[in-house]
Amino acid sequence: MMNQDNRPDLVIHGSVHASGGVYREVNVQGFGKIKGDVECLDLHCAGHVSIDGDVQATRVKVEGNATVRGAMKVETMEVYGQIDVNGDVDFTELRVDGSAKVHGNISGEEIQLRGFLKSTGDCEAEVFKAKGAFTIGGLLNAGRVEIDLHGGCEAREIGGEHIEVRKAGNSTLNKLIKHIFNNTLSVGTVEGDEIYLEYTRAKVVRGNNIEIGPGCEIDLVEYTGEFRKDNSSQIKEHRMQ
């Protein structure tokens, strides 16, 4: 591998076509098209960039619009604008305040979501904290799942040790959002050790200690420890395993 001190920088102003390669910093302020894989320490996009290949980076910050036609492997990624990835994304920390769409699987240690996240595959992390909206085509699996419903959230399955889903507070912004978005979680199966749910629609909820808060519609609850429910929620069947 090239010595980090000897790596060149790729700085794009205006409209530029460039080749992939090994760089120290890739900084896109204009409109850039990069053909080939990119390996760098820092990738910063404040304009528009299209990368026709894989990306391997230490730090990625997207304030504009980025399209990656391959997979991504990064340590930290912050998305304040929009990113569209046509492959798997592996990371240590992922923060999404804007919009991130991944046509594949997402896996890492910690996800902080305040914008919108879409994954066609699975999403795995040690910690998943969401105060935005998400659509996960497969399994959302994390040791700790904390969801504040600020918009419609969907997943095929959710699994974890500690799972908590709450309706967001009644701020003026949230009241306005309610007129546009359906602030509920729609999921097939929820399975965990400690589970607390509000405003969740699920077919099956299975775990040890389960508390069903307000606004839920659940077909079946299976528990091995304690079970409690809010009177406003509809549960067709609940049974101790």
Which DSSP string do the residues of 139-150 spell out, in sequence order?
EEEEEEEEEEES
Residues 67 and 122 in one domain: no
Q: Which of 67, 98, 129 is the last residue of a domain?
A: 98
Q: Are residues 74 and 123 in the same domain?
A: no
pLDDT at 67 over 70: yes
Q: Do 157 and 41 fall into the same domain?
A: no
CA distances from 177 to 30, 127, 164, 165, 213 (A): 33, 26, 21, 18, 22
In sequence order, what DSSP letters do the residues of 54-72 get, joined into one string?
-EEEEEEEESSEEEESS-E
Residues 72 and 115 in one domain: no
Please say which residue of 98, 125, 146 terminates a domain: 98
On whether both 35 and 111 belong to a single domain, the answer is no
DSSP H or E segment with residue 189: strand 185-197
Question: Is 149 in the same domain as 110?
Answer: yes
User: What does the pLDDT read at residue 179?
Assistant: 43
Q: Are residues 89 and 138 in the same domain?
A: no
Per DSSP, the chain holds a count of helices (H) and strands (E) of 1, 23
Cβ-based neighbour number of residue 156 at 10 Å: 14
Please list, in sequence order, all residues whose beta carbon lies within 8 angstroms of the beta carbon of residue 206, skipping any fewer than 6 positions away. Answer: 189, 190, 191, 221, 222, 223, 241
Buried b (16+ CB within 10 A) or exposed e, 17-30: ebebbbbebbbbbe
The mean pLDDT of the chain is 93
Q: Which domain holds residue 39?
A: 1-98
pLDDT-based confidence at 1, cuts 50/70/90? very low
- How far from each other are the two terminal CA atoms of the chain, in whole angstroms? 55
| 122 and 27 in a common domain | no
CA distance 208 to 57: 40
Task: Answer yes or no: do 89 and 121 share one domain.
Answer: no
Q: CA angle at residue 103 from 142 to 45, to 5 degrees?
A: 95
Residue 3: the pLDDT is: 53
Distance CA 206, CA 195 (A): 9
Q: Are residues 63 and 113 in the same domain?
A: no
Residues in the chain: 241
Number of folded domains in the chain? 2
For residues 153 and 231, membership in a common domain is answered with yes
Same domain assignment for residues 116 and 165: yes
The pLDDT of residue 111 is above 50: yes
pLDDT in tens, 9-58: 999 888 999 999 999 999 999 999 999 999 999 999 999 999 999 999 99
